[in-house]
Amino acid sequence: TASGEGVSKCGSKLGSFFRQLFATLYAKLIAVGVVVVAFALFCYFETRDEPERLMSLVGMVALFCVAFLVSKHPTKINYRPVVLGVTFQFLLGLFCIRWEVGRSIFSCIGDKVATFLNYSAEGAAFVYGDFIVRKEGVFAFAVLSVIYFFSFFISILYYLGAMQWVVLKLGWILQSILGTTVCESVIAAANIFLGMSESPLLIRPYIKDLTHSEVHSVMTSGFATVSGTVLAAYISFGAQPAHLITASVMAAPAALCFAKLIYPETEESKTRSDNIQMEKSPDSSVLDAASNGANTATALVLGIIANLIAFVSFIAFLNGVLGWLGELVGVKDASLENIFGTIFRPLAFVMGVPWDESYYVGKLIGIKTIVNEFVAYQKLGEFIDGNFLSSRSAAIATYAICGFANPSSMGIMIGTLSAMVPDKRGVITSVAFRAFITGSIVCFMTASIGGLLMDAKIFNNFG
């Protein structure tokens, strides 16, 4: 199409410009210097009346230092995707968070998404009854039912080719700016909309040819974002839809940035933008696609229910054991959440959360990292209702836990990719834990940028 050709030409020009920009050592140094100076000036004028917001800058620097220290090949790092990736993430943050027009756009999008997802209540009430869905709001019936509706809708878009078109164009933009390969760029774009298990299906024929670094990048993008199918659940717990959408958009370039910093490319990619073809829908008609989409959601819903029952029960058991042990040694209120709050409190503090609230955000980070983000968002809702967190701290927490980086998701990702390419299971398992760490860092970087860009007034009026 004409619009597709326009995007491709624009992407080619951007790619040529950035290749020339990073062609020589002097050009690289100048480019990095310009970015650093511009960023320093921005921080000075932005925070001179609120110097406490500079703590988020400390968090950003600390996260980069950690990423460099755990890098697989620190001498092989290509700094183009690193520098441009975090710059792109920051500019997206400026547009989505700091700029009033962009903030209004994303608030509007968030409200419209929430309204769209709420239509699932009609179907849920018809099947389960109005009392369970609307009056009592039972989680399994009122909230998780939206997954059937959203999966139904996405499958229709996938059959019509609309989803592939949007993802491919966004992937080309990321590839042109960052210089990443087409497969990892497409997956990063896809994870804005899809989940970590669904997005690899778009490039299934090419997964067997991916390098170690590309596999790591694909997994990182999955861990650094959340699926659109579960947004309604997070919203029901009290998370602002605008914050969730902003976090997903900002995570796309950041995932590529940190993936290439922590696992630099040392091989030659076998896929190119001129030979990539998106996987087509196997469905025979729109009705077939819609039906299969709804049916496919059953496994996801049952998986969420099973995991929540098991993990919440296990946490209660551990808290009981820890409480008993605490009484034996004279320690009161010993629990898993309190331990997490103590361990992750410094991280929450350097992301920009005030010290007196960082203990609660530390709890959320620990629960999300060790258990899953569902339990973390449920706990976030409790903290918001109990007025333990200000609007600003709640928003930073929303960004920090907006990702699938947890042990159970790591198992799901390994199983999904291994089922697609059994011969690559060794590669997948070898990079999985590093991708888990990378995905977590991306979420924390998004939270740090949010903390730097937004003061309390903006947080109160955003979302």
Grade residue 429 by pLDDT with cuts at 50, 70 and 90.
Answer: very high
Grade residue 354 by pLDDT with cuts at 50, 70 and 90.
Answer: very high
b vs e for 439-448, b when ≥16 Cβ sit within 10 Å of the residue's Cβ?
bbbbbbbbbb
Question: CA–CA distance from 338 to each of 360, 362, 372, 396, 402 (Å)?
Answer: 9, 9, 17, 19, 21
Structural contact between residues 233 and 300, judged by C-beta atoms closer than 8 angstroms: no
- 330-350 pLDDT, tens digit per residue, is 888 888 888 999 999 999 999
Distance, CA of 182 to CA of 44 (rounded, Å): 37
pTM score: 0.85
Task: Work out the average pLDDT over 101-129.
Answer: 87
Distance, CA of 262 to CA of 51 (rounded, Å): 31
pLDDT of 8 higher than 70: no
According to the model, what pLDDT value does residue 125 have?
A: 92
Grade residue 431 by pLDDT with cuts at 50, 70 and 90.
Answer: very high
Average pLDDT, the chain: 86
Task: Work out the average pLDDT over 211-240.
Answer: 88
Residue pointed to by tokens 């992750």: 344
Per-residue H/E/C for 235-263: HHHCCCHHHHHHHHHHHHHHHHHHHHHHC
pLDDT of 291 higher than 80: yes
Angle 100-118/241-262 helices, nearest 10 degrees? 110
Task: Work out the average pLDDT over 137-147.
Answer: 83
Task: Work out the average pLDDT over 350-362.
Answer: 95
Per-residue H/E/C for 98-125: HCHHHHHHHHHHHHHHHHHHHCHHHHHH
Distance, CA of 376 to CA of 237 (rounded, Å): 10
Residue 272 falls in which region: left (phi positive, over 0), alpha (psi -120 to 50) or beta: beta
Task: Work out the average pLDDT over 65-84.
Answer: 92
More confident site: 460 or 370 = 370
Structural contact between residues 424 and 215, judged by C-beta atoms closer than 8 angstroms: yes
With a pLDDT cut of 90, the percent of the chain lying above it is: 39
Grade residue 80 by pLDDT with cuts at 50, 70 and 90.
Answer: confident
According to the model, what pLDDT value does residue 12 have?
A: 59
Grade residue 214 by pLDDT with cuts at 50, 70 and 90.
Answer: very high
pLDDT of 5 higher than 60: no
Of 38-47, 115-124, 215-224, which gets the smallest average pLDDT? 38-47
Task: Work out the average pLDDT over 37-66.
Answer: 87
According to the model, what pLDDT value does residue 276 have?
A: 66
Grade residue 9 by pLDDT with cuts at 50, 70 and 90.
Answer: low
DSSP 51-103: GGGGHHHHHHHHHHHHHHHT-SSGGG--HHHHHHHHHHHHHHHIIIIISHHHH
Grade residue 432 by pLDDT with cuts at 50, 70 and 90.
Answer: very high
Q: Name, in order, each residue with C-beta under 8 angstroms of 449's C-beta and a sequence gap of 6 or more.
A: 56, 60, 89, 90, 93, 250
Distance, CA of 420 to CA of 204 (rounded, Å): 7
DSSP 172-206: HHHHHHH---HHHHHHHHHTTTS-TTTGGGGGGGG
Q: Name, in order, each residue with C-beta under 8 angstroms of 158's C-beta and a sequence gap of 6 or more.
A: 164, 281, 289, 293
According to the model, what pLDDT value does residue 50 have?
A: 82
More confident site: 231 or 191 = 191
Domain ranges, ordered by start, for the chain: 2-312+392-460
Grade residue 20 by pLDDT with cuts at 50, 70 and 90.
Answer: low
According to the model, what pLDDT value does residue 210 have?
A: 92
With a pLDDT cut of 70, the percent of the chain lying above it is: 91
According to the model, what pLDDT value does residue 11 have?
A: 56
pLDDT of 328 higher than 80: yes
Structural contact between residues 404 and 222, judged by C-beta atoms closer than 8 angstroms: yes
